[in-house]
Amino acid sequence: MKDQTISSLTASQLRIDGPRLWHSLMELARIGATAKGGVCRLALSDEDRLGRDQVTAWAREAGLQVTVDRIGNVFMRRAGEDESLPPVMAGSHIDTQPTGGKFDGNYGVLAGLEVVRTLNDHGIRTRAPVEVAFWTNEEGSRFVPVMMGSGVFAGAFSLEQAYAATDVAGKTVRDELEAIGYLGPQVPGQHPVGAYFEVHIEQGPVLEDADVTIGVVEGVLAIRWFDCTVTGMEAHAGPTPMKLRRDALQVATRLMQEVVASAASHGPHGRGTVGMVHVHPNSRNVIPGRVQFSIDLRNATDTAVDAQVAQVQACATRLQAETGLAIHIELVSSYPAQQFDAASVAAIAQAARDLGYSHMPAVSGAGHDAIYLARRAPAAMVFIPCKDGISHNEIEDARADHVEAGANVLLRVMLERAGVVE
């Protein structure tokens, strides 16, 4: 008995059951289904409970052992030949946005389940255990912070902080975990992880635009979030000549353009977005006295994103000096860039190549549980295209052949990492 690589004949011919995976995705999407074809399964809601019950029931049917930790993260384990080895894990989340889709998160969990079902079908034993996990409250729609379960697991913030988070009705995470029956006994973070893989729809347009099936995710962009306030002087639009105005919006729009310019001048992974704008008093015939807006800067490295920050701040300083209007920029969130484990990334690329799928390097611009897992174990992600790059939307969609391809890549890298026992 020895470890086998993916070149082993049996393993290399192995494929997941695409229609079965698709069927499970559609079944899970019935829980919290919305009229427009999406899903509303907010973290720790009754719908979340029903979703958790469904997935764990499937896991038990597949012979998996289900355990839960104190933040409600669920681990579904297929024993390995050597139970002393840490598990090779697939994971993601099953909570959704209020107007979410069928694929975001769910795909990563059910692809993991499909990998296990495929191993069962073919009686394949792995050397290391194989696990499928889902993490509590990735979306952050009902409780902040986002990526709560994986964040606690990775020690990014404490269990107590997470427990204290409340929804708009004042209910706490701890009480709701208890209410839905998913306040488990395991200490978060003590569950061993040997390797972590997460397959996910891209949630962006790059793969579709390039007509490529597999995105080999090399890392996650650094993010800097700011709130900016430009303060001028509210005045009547009619009686106030241009030279006597202190129009906060006119200054703000120049800075908004610099946010985008900063991304273009720090390509190819630079991003600059103003998503939220509040104009005061927001009246047709009143010159805006105050404009508040968000700034979202991202790039592949912290150095690059901080260069964008500097460019935007220099523009603000220049505008303030030139116009005399006060510009206040406040950092509200900062996430470092995360490079995924090079060997895991290479293994994904190799798997896609072996399977004959078109593939390309990718970066994730959005947050995923894999970012926190990367602090605890070698981790990497697989992207597949989604229709028009749309996600966090009831019309979110993905092609069945892409869904199948991503799961086949997952199968292959998990087997390669866990080792096949012949």
- List residues binding its own copies (CB under 8 A): 202-206, 209, 221, 223, 225, 235-242, 244, 247, 249-250, 253-254, 256-257, 260, 263-264, 267-277, 279, 282-288, 294, 296, 298, 364-367, 389-392
Q: Which is nearer to its own copies, 95 or 258 (CB)?
A: 258
Within 10 angstroms of residue 258's Cβ, the number of other Cβ atoms is 21
Q: Which is nearer to its own copies, 307 or 390 (CB)?
A: 390
The distance of closest approach from Cβ of residue 214 to its own copies in the complex, given in angstroms and rounded to an integer, is 16
The distance of closest approach from Cβ of residue 272 to its own copies in the complex, given in angstroms and rounded to an integer, is 7
CB contact at 8 A, 115 and 157: no
- Both tokens of 361, joined, read 């390097």
The distance of closest approach from Cβ of residue 241 to its own copies in the complex, given in angstroms and rounded to an integer, is 6
The distance of closest approach from Cβ of residue 233 to its own copies in the complex, given in angstroms and rounded to an integer, is 8
Q: Which is nearer to its own copies, 223 or 415 (CB)?
A: 223
The distance of closest approach from Cβ of residue 35 to its own copies in the complex, given in angstroms and rounded to an integer, is 19
The four Cα atoms 303, 309, 312, 316 give a dihedral, to 10 degrees, of: -130
Q: Which is nearer to its own copies, 237 or 400 (CB)?
A: 237
Q: Which is nearer to its own copies, 68 or 348 (CB)?
A: 348
Cα–Cα dist 293/272, whole Å: 13
β-strands 88-92, 195-201 pairing = parallel
Cα–Cα dist 184/258, whole Å: 48
The percent of the chain in helix, strand and coil, each rounded to the nearest 5, is 35, 25, 40
Cα–Cα dist 21/291, whole Å: 48
β-strands 88-92, 235-236 pairing = unpaired
The distance of closest approach from Cβ of residue 416 to its own copies in the complex, given in angstroms and rounded to an integer, is 27
Q: Which is nearer to its own copies, 273 or 350 (CB)?
A: 273
* Strand, helix or coil for residue 349: helix
